[in-house]
Copies of this chain bind each other. A is one copy, B any other.
Amino acid sequence: MTGLLTDLYELTMSAGYFEAGKSAEWGTFELSIRRLPKNRQYVIAAGLEQALSYLLELRFTGAEIDYLRSLPQFARVGAGFYECLREFRFTGDVDAVPEGTVLYAGEPMMMVRAPLMEAQIPETYLLSTLTFQTLIATKAALIVQKAGGRGVVEFGTRRAHTPEAGVLGARAACIGGCIGTSNTLAGFRFGIPVMGTCAHSWVMSFSSEQEAFRRLQDVLGPHTIQLVDTYDPIEGTRRAAALGRPLWGIRLDSGDFLALSKQARAILDAAGLPDAKIMASGDLDERRIGELVEAGAPIDVFGVGTELATSADAPSMGAIYKLVEVNGRPTAKWSEDKASLPGAKQLFRFPDHDVLALANESCPPGAEALLRPVILKGQLVEQPPIRKVGQADSLPVLHSDALTVLIDQIRMERK
């Protein structure tokens, strides 16, 4: 993992820490959710596996260091800093919440404690990878909830913000409750179930729809899903039904899904195929899926692309990575609309509320400490197992007494 995949200021600051003789100072950074994404009551944390791999594998090659040396911003930086980059390893400690954890506004997802430079450089990468997967897992959870027990498959790689975002988005979607993805590489890398059979081009490549359907059965057998809407969805369903088994079912990809799924169900049943399933895909989101489920559309599986792969209604969230402690001294920022809270933290979850506390407080009875050690002295301790996402309620987030005292104290000092 290249150390250059970060904002330039992380590197100019690192050079500055080095030149200012602060290499030995330790900082604690808190990665937390300042604001929930639009239309969300909570988020589902995801992306920890990739964040940890990055920290463990972060390096600078000779060519990358030469590039930095060539930049005007580095003209005054001495050779010692580049030597330091050549030897760069993350040697700090990381606490994080397990993937699949429900989090609310103001709550930390990760604490990073390391020599200032080692904790500073990862800021950009950690925010991007954790925020993105969290957005997708959260959107998936909303969609899955509205699907009321019917399966939801992630279909959105072509709309993802780069193909790699498609792979990681598929992973996050499954953390949020999807039953599988169309992304083959996500299946290969993460062992997620992969799904999909054919596109309209398959049907169009044959001189008749019937031949296309028959040929698909030849190759896919009981996994065949006939895509019926290339020319006319009802005609297509009749042709698929007439060919019969082997068949998993049909896929509707356009039109009025409620009316079409009812007609398709009737055609399949009349043809003696009551076990043939109906999948719907095409411009679906949690709202449309909720409406279809409520209206009793006989759809067994929903394929969701664009809306899920881009978290289209809320494509970003205000996660921040803030310095909360330097060499044991708590720090905070007071910008009017962007304040941060001082001190290394822990998050305690009670059945009906959360308590944001300082890291050295002990876990109160009846609570669970959500931040767990995942890296100690640069070594992986434990990759916490992914939590199963359940129904989530909005919970109040309180501050512990010790945190409240610290906030007041730091605020007084600044005045």
Contact = CB atoms under 8 A, between A and B. Distances in A.
Interface pairs A-B: 5 shortest CB-CB: A9-B196, A161-B161, A127-B158, A201-B323, A8-B196
Interface of A: 2, 4-13, 15-17, 19-20, 22, 25, 27, 29, 64, 67-68, 71-73, 75-77, 116, 120, 123-125, 127-129, 131-132, 135, 155, 157-169, 182-185, 187-188, 194-202, 204-206, 215-216, 218-221, 223, 229-233, 253-255, 282, 306, 310-312, 315-316, 319, 321-323, 326, 331-338, 414
Nearest to A218: B19
Nearest to A200: B333
Contacts of A10: 199
Nearest to A3: B184
A325 B165 CA distance: 31
Contact of A165 (B22, B64, B162): B162
Contacts of A311: 315
A231 B380 CA distance: 36
B221 A8 contact: no
Contacts of A13: 197-199, 201-202
A7 B183 contact: yes
A159 B131 contact: yes
21 contacts: A7-B158, A7-B184, A9-B202, A12-B219, A16-B202, A20-B219, A29-B201, A67-B187, A72-B223, A76-B218, A124-B157, A128-B163, A159-B316, A161-B315, A200-B335, A201-B323, A204-B333, A205-B323, A255-B335, A255-B336, A312-B316
A223 to B, nearest CB: 5
A4 B184 contact: yes
A337 B160 contact: no
Contacts of A159: 127-128, 131, 316
Contacts of A29: 201
Given A201-B27, A215-B20, A335-B253, A124 B158 contact: yes
Nearest to A307: B316
A127 B165 CA distance: 13
Contact of A196 (B7, B131, B216): B7
This chain's copy number in the assembly: 2
Contacts of A5: 157, 163-164, 166-167, 183-185
A197 B76 contact: no
Contacts of A255: 335-337
Contact of A184 (B11, B282, B331): B11
Nearest to A253: B335
A8 B254 contact: no
Given A12-B219, A72-B223, 10 more contacts: A13-B202, A19-B215, A22-B205, A73-B223, A128-B158, A128-B165, A132-B160, A160-B161, A201-B323, A310-B315
Contacts of A163: 5, 124-125, 128-129
Contact of A316 (B25, B216, B306, B321): B306
A220 B12 CA distance: 8
A82 B298 CA distance: 38
Nearest to A12: B197
A184 B17 contact: no
Contacts of A204: 323, 326, 331-333
B188 A7 contact: no
A7 B180 CA distance: 12
Contacts of A282: 338
Given A253-B335, A335-B254, A9 B199 contact: yes
A16 B166 contact: no
Contact of A8 (B167, B195, B219): B195
A132 B161 contact: yes
B165 A323 contact: no
A357 B217 CA distance: 37
Contacts of A232: 334
A11 to B, nearest CB: 6
